[in-house]
Chain A
Amino acid sequence: MLPQWHVIRGKRSVNRIERVFTGRRKAFIPFITAGDPSLDVTEKLVLTLAAAGADLIELGIPFSDPVAEGPVIQAADERSLAAGTNLDSVFNLVERIRGDCQTALALMTYANPVFRYGIDRFAKRCGDCGIDAVIIPDVPFEESEEFRPAFSQNKVHLISMIAPTSAGRIRKIAEKASGFIYCVSSLGVTGVRSQLDDQISDLIVQLKKVRDIPCAVGFGISTPRQVSQMAAIADGVIVGSALVKIIAEYGDQCVEPVRQLADDMIQALDA
Chain B
Amino acid sequence: MNNGRFGIHGGQYVPETLMPAILELESSYNKACRDDSFTQALDRLLADYAGRPSRLTFAANMTADLGGAQIYLKREDLNHTGSHKINNVLGQVLLARYMGKTRVIAETGAGQHGVATATAAALLGLKCEIYMGVEDMNRQALNVYRMKLLGAEVHPVESGTATLKDAVNETMREWTRQVQDTHYVLGSVMGPHPFPTIVRDFQSVIGKEVKAQLQEKTGRLPDVLLACVGGGSNAIGLFHAFTEDSQVRLIGCEAAGRGIETADSAATMTLGNPGIFHGMKSYFCQDDQGQIAPVYSISAGLDYPGVGPEHAYLKDIGRAEYVPVKDDEAVRAFEYLSRTEGIIPAIESAHAVAYACQLAPRMKPDQIMVINLSGRGDKDVAAMARYKGEKISE
- Which B residue sits closest to A173, measured CB to CB? B16
- Which B residue sits closest to A167, measured CB to CB? B20
CB pair A188 B275 closer than 8 Å: no
- Listed residue (A81, A138, A189) with the most chain B CB atoms within 10 angstroms of its CB: A138
A141 to B17, CA, bound (A): 11
CB pair B176 A68 closer than 8 Å: yes
Among residues 315 to 372 in chain B, which have CB atoms less than 8 Å away from a CB atom of chain A?
none
Q: Closest CB of chain A to B5's CB: distance in Å?
A: 11
A163 to B15, CA, bound (A): 9
Q: Does B165 contact A (CB under 8 A)?
A: yes
CB pair A142 B176 closer than 8 Å: no
CB pair B286 A138 closer than 8 Å: no
A65 touches which of B18, B20, B292 (Cβ 8 Å) = B292
Given contacts A112-B284, A165-B179, contact A67 B169 (CB under 8 A): yes
- Listed residue (B14, B277, B290) with the most chain A CB atoms within 10 angstroms of its CB: B290
CB pair B276 A111 closer than 8 Å: yes
Q: Does B177 contact A (CB under 8 A)?
A: yes
Q: Does A113 contact B (CB under 8 A)?
A: yes
- Which A residue sits closest to B173, measured CB to CB? A189
A116 touches which of B21, B166, B288 (Cβ 8 Å) = B288
CB pair A112 B277 closer than 8 Å: yes
Q: Does B291 contact A (CB under 8 A)?
A: yes
Residue numbers in B under 8 Å from A63 (CB-CB) = 290-291
Q: Does A114 contact B (CB under 8 A)?
A: yes
Q: Does B19 contact A (CB under 8 A)?
A: yes
Given contacts A112-B284, A116-B273, contact A188 B12 (CB under 8 A): no
Question: Using an 8 Å CB-CB cutoff, how does the interface string of A105-116 with B read, 1 for contact, 0 for none?
Answer: 000000111111
Indicate the size class of the contact surface on chain A: 35 or more
Residue numbers in A under 8 Å from B20 (CB-CB) = 165-169
CB pair A112 B14 closer than 8 Å: no
A184 to B19, CA, bound (A): 13
CB pair A138 B160 closer than 8 Å: no
Q: Closest CB of chain A to B60's CB: distance in Å?
A: 46
Q: Does A251 contact B (CB under 8 A)?
A: no
A95 to B187, CA, bound (A): 44
A140 to B12, CA, bound (A): 8
Residue numbers in B under 8 Å from A232 (CB-CB) = none
Given contacts A67-B169, A165-B21, contact A184 B16 (CB under 8 A): yes
Among residues 276 to 303 in chain B, which have CB atoms less than 8 Å away from a CB atom of chain A?
276-279, 281, 284, 286, 288-292
Residue numbers in A under 8 Å from B288 (CB-CB) = 116
Among residues 218 to 268 in chain B, which have CB atoms less than 8 Å away from a CB atom of chain A?
none
CB pair B16 A141 closer than 8 Å: yes
Q: Closest CB of chain B to A85's CB: distance in Å?
A: 9
What's the dominant secondary structure at chain B's contact region?
A: mixed
Residue numbers in B under 8 Å from A70 (CB-CB) = 173
Residue numbers in B under 8 Å from A143 (CB-CB) = 11-13
Given contacts A65-B277, A143-B12, contact A184 B289 (CB under 8 A): no
CB pair B292 A138 closer than 8 Å: no
Q: Closest CB of chain B to A150's CB: distance in Å?
A: 15
Residue numbers in A under 8 Å from B160 (CB-CB) = 64-65
Question: Using an 8 Å CB-CB cutoff, how does the interface string of B15-29 with A read, 1 for contact, 0 for none?
Answer: 111111100000000
Given contacts A74-B159, A143-B11, A165-B179, contact A64 B16 (CB under 8 A): no
CB pair A87 B289 closer than 8 Å: yes
Q: Does A137 contact B (CB under 8 A)?
A: yes
Residue numbers in A under 8 Å from B284 (CB-CB) = 112
- Which A residue sits closest to B172, measured CB to CB? A67
A164 to B21, CA, bound (A): 12
Among residues 143 to 175 in chain A, which have CB atoms less than 8 Å away from a CB atom of chain B?
143, 161-169, 173
Q: Does B178 contact A (CB under 8 A)?
A: yes
Q: Does A187 contact B (CB under 8 A)?
A: yes
Q: Closest CB of chain B to A142's CB: distance in Å?
A: 5
Given contacts A68-B176, A165-B20, A188-B177, contact A116 B12 (CB under 8 A): no
Q: Does A139 contact B (CB under 8 A)?
A: yes
A138 touches which of B21, B165, B166, B279 (Cβ 8 Å) = B279
CB pair B275 A142 closer than 8 Å: no
CB pair B275 A139 closer than 8 Å: no
CB pair B17 A165 closer than 8 Å: yes
A165 to B11, CA, bound (A): 20
- Which B residue sits closest to A81, measured CB to CB? B291
Residue numbers in B under 8 Å from A163 (CB-CB) = 15-17
CB pair A137 B15 closer than 8 Å: yes
CB pair B16 A113 closer than 8 Å: no
CB pair A113 B289 closer than 8 Å: yes
Q: Does A86 contact B (CB under 8 A)?
A: yes
CB pair A189 B291 closer than 8 Å: no
Q: Does A117 contact B (CB under 8 A)?
A: yes
CB pair A115 B276 closer than 8 Å: yes
A142 to B18, CA, bound (A): 12
Q: Closest CB of chain B to A72's CB: distance in Å?
A: 12
A20 to B330, CA, bound (A): 59
List, sorted by A's number, 7 A–B pairs whose CB atoms are closer than 8 Å.
A65-B169, A111-B13, A112-B290, A165-B18, A166-B20, A188-B17, A189-B177
The 5 closest A-B pairs by CB, nearest first: A116-B290, A113-B290, A188-B177, A163-B17, A111-B276
Sample of 15 more A-B contacts, CB < 8 Å, known A67-B278, A112-B277, A165-B17: A64-B160, A65-B160, A74-B159, A111-B13, A112-B275, A112-B290, A112-B292, A115-B276, A116-B275, A116-B286, A140-B19, A143-B13, A168-B20, A187-B179, A188-B177
